[in-house]
Structure 1
């Protein structure tokens, strides 16, 4: 077989065109800054003007040369150098621009000849090197669509579909649609799927339909030709219409409508790596599909009826042809049922019918059924056997409820509705049967509706129904496990799945019936333990697992009779507190569990003597082990409530007194709340007396809470003009708050943010470490599953806060470094002005951003934010005054210390020390989990602790004994080597 090569006169024209394009790269100023990697470079080039210049210079053969240049491509790998690549890139685009806008008979002839050659010699020829004689099998090893450079089959069909419908064009279009060239492809592997050449070009729907329409208008498309075209091009020849009750959910994928020349992408990809239609998802057009001409719609209906009658012999071809069909009239359902009846298909062997079953599913799935049509359908269904109806039931779409009636199972209507509602949620997302998802409602059961459905269902009917669904796609094994658990079946197997952190099991676990007085509490603690354990996984699995745990808690709350998860949590924590054993005597040793500060501690005494540690004699005693377990449980409870109360403060949530009173039964909660500044009835600020439900303000006045209490946010203190006064109050009385409240960073809208309106640039430009940032965001409940959507959801306000980053990979954790860009807020997927963002939410989101930048920063020149420095300055100022440190003062961002050996200044952001006027003093503190000096909050700011440790060391510098530190102070002009101290 002779490969298709240009004739001598075509070769001459191509050489002249090549010379012109090579010269054009130098002569046309728009190419002076040529950059092949600039995505929009070619959009700014008037290619048609340059092609016109070529034709003016070669009026006789110029147009033919442009057609020749289009249909005789050069393989990218054969181009000699970068200049050659640039020249050919220009040549291809010039030719394409010309033949697209100026079609003529010669261009039609040449495009047709190339297309005909590619289809007729799909396995014998290629634009790329063919296999040698030693290769076996001796045909081109890639699929036909990978054998040709641009213009390939798709590109040629695209150009032809837009050409004028001349007699020559019509003759070629008939040949193309008839498919006489459509041979079977050699199998890629023994026993592999048998496909034909046209199967490689399933994305040409729009072009093939344009060609068919033109032939119809020319009177050259009758039904026999339509059948041959449909057998060749499948879905592309389906012209559905509402009148026929047929439609399509397919999309018009115009893959090459506006393609750019890029042979590297077009021809070097392994066809096995192409993800079918998913690779085209970015190119789905948004325009509404055109109404099908009546004649073509009638042809389609006739073709569909013949196809169904011809099953199963034509099933393999039809499985793709009808892959996207949607049916809206019962006649198609009835025709599919007739095929099932004719072939004797049963529920157990439906899947064994392969392609036939696939085709039948499309026509069984009725998309809509008005209630007034149900009686008519029910009468028609009475003519089919029980086996046929059972086979069709899980595929019948909106008709499934009528199939149930036809089977005599009307009592299962409610159960089927609940069964599908559970299994197919979330309807807006991917997957089914309790998928791993961020949706916290998946697997949560409406007990009233499910109980009602189970009560209505005849047990025998239900058993037969579930058995009939077992071989089908409605089997839903996870939903079956859920239904069993709901009825108290399979607990041991479910708990075994929990040890593997199976997410469906987490959702289902709460549904088990309550078996004893401690059952709810133990399951509550198990789910809380799972919430903690899954933090070891990646961002996506961790987020999905947390959603699954939340669904499990929701189910548990409903089973146990609580109105919400928060009420369940408070009741369980109260039970834990009430059941806590706090003291025992073991062999003469008195062991007591007490809360010191915020830490549960075991105190051990022998007579009047306190012991620092438990003696070996009692460590294995069951009562001592039980107290140790209670200590651990109490630590976890305090940590859980710290997180809960901080979240309540951050959101501004308030509690009605009847909601608060159960919480105050817990010693740990009383301890936490009494160290926090409370606001009574949105007015008075003060310390809480949990016994009297009063708050005491700064002047000592008591205010009785009438309706509600909330944990005051710094914004509330700021708006009341009392922020500084409350900071002084906290330090003066040496209170230790469970988390930062009075000294919490407060972020207010800046003038620059008011100007930008919809976004904040406050932290833009900071370089961050990917793994550190990803982990920090996950811990702070940000969604990080997609780098294009890093968000925090405020359910209270219906607002999503979004962090935008630059230079990221697919996941934050896989990117070594990336750059913070903007922060924005959205409601209902629309950006909202920053001025409309609730102040507490705005401040907390900015605090997360500041924390992210300070902890994950990758640059050496990082500077602490103004808000953080301000809070540190306020804290240091109050401590200086409270401790009476006369030789220390705080000015701006520096702490100044007048020592007896020298004068020092410490930067509040970096904790760097200078011996004034400007000599660096290197002191590196040893890391420690606790501090020996007072801080007014339990969640220690490590850098603040470092600043204070250095301050206390230098305040009394005469007591410094470390020789290396003393040497630096005494020789302030010599930096000296740093020395590690235990500060």
Structure 2
């Protein structure tokens, strides 16, 4: 059929309905929304389509499964009252009160509203995400919004009844598949509207669908849990993300936490893009100092929020080492409530930090007064926010960087002055060095890498290739680890393998409030050393234009978007490259790549480690045994001198540059070193340095044999 837009005249609309009938008779199905849309765009008086509409109703009801029930209700209204009653009766048969309520609401709407709502009716809960403007139509319908609240409250009432043993419990049977679809749509509408009653409702509903009323390791409804998580991916709120993280810690089903973790990574990225709600955080009755106190008989519970939330107990002002036995015996409900509060606060802090970091490419600005009251002085948010560097626009176009943890604030700015997160790409090298020095001197550990954040600028080679970058191409990586990292960082990619159409793909991530898309191409390579390998390829960028994605020259990509995207790709390659695998033994053609790349030139992320080591090495007890030499940390032991590569953490031994394989080390002492940000590779490098500086104390025979060989 031709596009709807070309069929605006009444005669064309009538012909379209007749063609829908013919298509349904021939194929058993036709897209009814096309007929409803055509009538909405009719340029003249609407034609009488009651006859073909009645035929469509009759054909649809004759099938075992009714597709597009919303659209069918709209078509039935066009056919007449008799057809509408027949459709309502069929759709509400044995579907339960939630779905019956939904169909009754749709049936009572005016034809124009039915046509608008018909677009959101998904065939199943795994349907492709719909554009936000489609959901907005439902969010603008008072009748459907009212249904959304009734439906979600009814779902929470049902899970409450299951937990109270008023409804028999059956694993994964709390809701039918159609109810899950309806509730997912209701949740999306409420989330899009950011309804104020939603947080309390999710605090009831999510534990209800994840915890069996018995000690069983089953759940009342995995389907609804994951559908709500998919709704959160479409329209995230910090309260829902926190609620999902909270139930992830309490669910007893073995497979649910892993699946939720995958979904939460994507939801975090989506929340960072929804800047109007991302930084909202409740106070939960905490004092301005980030402390909450509750009395339990002769004892006082103290919940303190620093880097994380901790629960301690006092008696007569004296701190106790553990939870008092009388509290466990006489106040179990309060103890459970406080422990759940700690989990909830920790989840909220993680959500806030990830939303802030993910929002770098959005470059959102906040009013100074709101930022000071709702973030810097917020009893919970302050522990995250105060350790970050911010920029305040003290004059038009002039920004002043401040670190609240250091007690630094600009001189009396206007309450409406703009505040944004500081990023090193907007600063001079001297300014960046000054901030890094300050963090190390004051032992301030940032919630994510900011002052030491790598920046990626366009290179001459990329200016030459113009629309693609080969900066991270031609690497061999552990494919399954790469695929897991894609999910962890909010990238979308299909699984590759030795099957038809499984040879290559472009992993995608949207940035810059959804206006930009980065694509990292990679191909499935082969099996080697018992593992699947992939080969990396180009990075390209696309820009949204007139509703479609169009490839963009690298020079047109905003510097922040380019830098943050390339930072992710550097992480993917750096973490998963076989060059970083100290135990690689395969002798095939991949060996030449491993030999070449394991001591290669440093990338931006490795250069950041050099910067940190320059500052912290003088503070270490092994400082007199360590020096930096280009891409290596040189460690002088008693038996040999060792060169640890700052990119791969691989080791060469002097004087013959023989390779030393250390798969892992648990050397004590290295874990106490202050690092201004979390970096597993840097921690590994330092642990190897502590081990090798005291090589005469090594007891692992596999390591000693390598060191003594050739001595």
Asked if the contact 2:669/2:690 (under 8 Å) is kept, the reply is no
**Distance in 2, Cα, partners of 1:317 & 1:793:** 38
Query: Aligned to 1:907, which of 621, 645, 651?
Result: 645
Q: CA deviation at 1:867?
A: 1.1
2:96 alignment partner in structure 1:
none
Distance 1:950 1:929, change over 3 A: closer
Q: What secondary structure, in the 3-state scheme, does the structure 2 residue paired with 1:736 have?
A: coil
Indicate yes or no: 2:610 matched with 1:873: yes
1:891 alignment partner in structure 2:
629
Query: Aligned to 1:722, which of 431, 437, 441?
Result: 431
1:642 alignment partner in structure 2:
353
Indicate yes or no: 2:490 matched with 1:776: no
Query: Aligned to 1:595, which of 297, 305, 308?
Result: 305
- Counterparts in 2 of 1:768-847, with a 5 A limit? 768-784=477-493, 788=505, 790-796=507-513, 798-807=515-524, 816-827=532-543, 828=545, 829-847=549-567
Distance 1:417 1:526, change over 3 A: farther
**Distance in 2, Cα, partners of 1:817 & 1:542:** 34
**Distance in 2, Cα, partners of 1:442 & 1:317:** 29
Deviations 1:446-466 (A, max 9, x none): 688423xx5xxxxxxxxxxxx
Indicate yes or no: 2:406 matched with 1:668: no
Indicate yes or no: 2:366 matched with 1:655: yes
Query: Aligned to 2:231, which of 525, 548, 572?
Result: 548
Query: Aligned to 2:129, which of 418, 434, 438?
Result: 438
Q: What secondary structure, in the 3-state scheme, does the structure 1 residue paired with 2:684 have?
A: helix
CA RMSD of aligned residues (A): 5.6
Query: Aligned to 1:755, which of 464, 472, 480?
Result: 464
Q: CA deviation at 1:747?
A: 1.6
Deviations 1:215-252 (A, max 9, x none): xxxxxxxxxxxxxxxxxxxxxxxxx9x998599999xx
1:450 alignment partner in structure 2:
141
Query: Aligned to 1:917, which of 655, 672, 682?
Result: 655
- Counterparts in 2 of 1:61-100, with a 5 A limit? none
Q: What secondary structure, in the 3-state scheme, does the structure 1 residue paired with 2:390 have?
A: strand
Q: What secondary structure, in the 3-state scheme, does the structure 1 residue paired with 2:132 have?
A: coil
Q: CA deviation at 1:801?
A: 0.9
- TM-score scaled by length of structure 2: 0.65
Distance 1:662 1:905, change over 3 A: same
2:409 alignment partner in structure 1:
694
Distance 1:569 1:725, change over 3 A: closer
Distance 1:876 1:651, change over 3 A: farther
Distance 1:693 1:522, change over 3 A: farther
2:115 alignment partner in structure 1:
420
1:337 alignment partner in structure 2:
51
- Counterparts in 2 of 1:919-938, with a 5 A limit? 919-926=658-665, 932-938=671-677
Distance 1:628 1:322, change over 3 A: closer
**Distance in 2, Cα, partners of 1:392 & 1:520:** 32
Asked if the contact 1:921/1:968 (under 8 Å) is kept, the reply is no
1:521 alignment partner in structure 2:
199
Q: CA deviation at 1:641?
A: 1.1
Asked if the contact 1:434/1:504 (under 8 Å) is kept, the reply is no
**Distance in 1, Cα, partners of 2:672 & 2:148:** 57
Q: CA deviation at 1:739?
A: 0.9
Q: What secondary structure, in the 3-state scheme, does the structure 1 residue paired with 2:112 have?
A: helix
**Distance in 1, Cα, partners of 2:400 & 2:210:** 35
Asked if the contact 1:600/1:634 (under 8 Å) is kept, the reply is yes
Asked if the contact 1:531/1:545 (under 8 Å) is kept, the reply is no
Distance 1:526 1:680, change over 3 A: farther
Indicate yes or no: 2:292 matched with 1:582: yes
1:679 alignment partner in structure 2:
391
Deviations 1:162-205 (A, max 9, x none): xxxxxxxxxxxxxxxxxxxxxxxxxxxxxxxxxxxxxxxxxxx9
Asked if the contact 2:454/2:608 (under 8 Å) is kept, the reply is yes
Q: What secondary structure, in the 3-state scheme, does the structure 2 residue paired with 1:932 have?
A: helix
**Distance in 2, Cα, partners of 1:353 & 1:948:** 71
Distance 1:929 1:646, change over 3 A: farther
2:422 alignment partner in structure 1:
712
Deviations 1:318-357 (A, max 9, x none): 74699899999999976972996xxxx897x6656689x9
Asked if the contact 1:789/1:802 (under 8 Å) is kept, the reply is yes
Structure 1 unmatched runs, 5+? 1-204, 206-239, 251-300, 309-314, 367-380, 395-410, 455-478, 558-563, 696-701, 810-814, 975-983
Q: CA deviation at 1:824?
A: 0.5
**Distance in 1, Cα, partners of 2:132 & 2:614:** 49
1:492 alignment partner in structure 2:
157
Question: Structure 1 stretch 754-763 or stretch 742-751: which is displaced more?
Answer: 742-751
Q: CA deviation at 1:629?
A: 1.7
Distance 1:788 1:332, change over 3 A: farther
**Distance in 2, Cα, partners of 1:800 & 1:726:** 31
1:402 alignment partner in structure 2:
none
Question: Structure 1 stretch 841-850 or stretch 432-441: which is displaced more?
Answer: 432-441
Distance 1:611 1:446, change over 3 A: same
Q: CA deviation at 1:544?
A: 7.5
**Distance in 2, Cα, partners of 1:316 & 1:510:** 32
**Distance in 2, Cα, partners of 1:951 & 1:757:** 42
Count of paired positions: 574
Indicate yes or no: 2:568 matched with 1:848: yes
**Distance in 2, Cα, partners of 1:339 & 1:440:** 28
Asked if the contact 2:14/2:47 (under 8 Å) is kept, the reply is no
Asked if the contact 1:527/1:549 (under 8 Å) is kept, the reply is no
